[in-house]
Amino acid sequence: MVDLDPLAFCIMNAMADDWESINQIEPQVTRFFGPAERRDIFSVLRHIHESKYIAIRSEEGHELAEWPGCPETAWFCMTDLGRRLWAENGRKYE
63-92 pLDDT, tens digit per residue, is 999 999 999 999 999 999 999 999 999 988
Alpha helices in the chain (DSSP H): 6-14, 22-32, 38-50, 80-93
Q: What is the CATH number of the domain that holds 26?
A: 1.10.10.10
In degrees and rounded to multiples of 5, residue 17 shows phi and psi of -110, -15
Query: Does 1 reside within a domain?
Result: no
Query: Does 43 reside within a domain?
Result: yes
| Confidence band of 1 (pLDDT split at 50, 70, 90) | low
pLDDT at residue 56 is higher than 80:
yes
Query: Does 61 reside within a domain?
Result: yes
Query: How far apart (Å, rounded) are the C-alpha atoms in residues 4 and 58?
Result: 25
How many domains does the chain fold into?
A: 1
Query: pLDDT of 8-31, one tens digit each?
Result: 999 999 999 999 999 999 999 999
Domain of residue 68, residue span = 6-93
Cα-to-chain-centroid distance, residue 84: 14
Calculate the alpha carbon distances from 90 to 63, 64, 70, 73 in Å: 27, 27, 30, 28
For the whole model, what pTM was predicted? 0.94
What's residue 93's pLDDT?
82
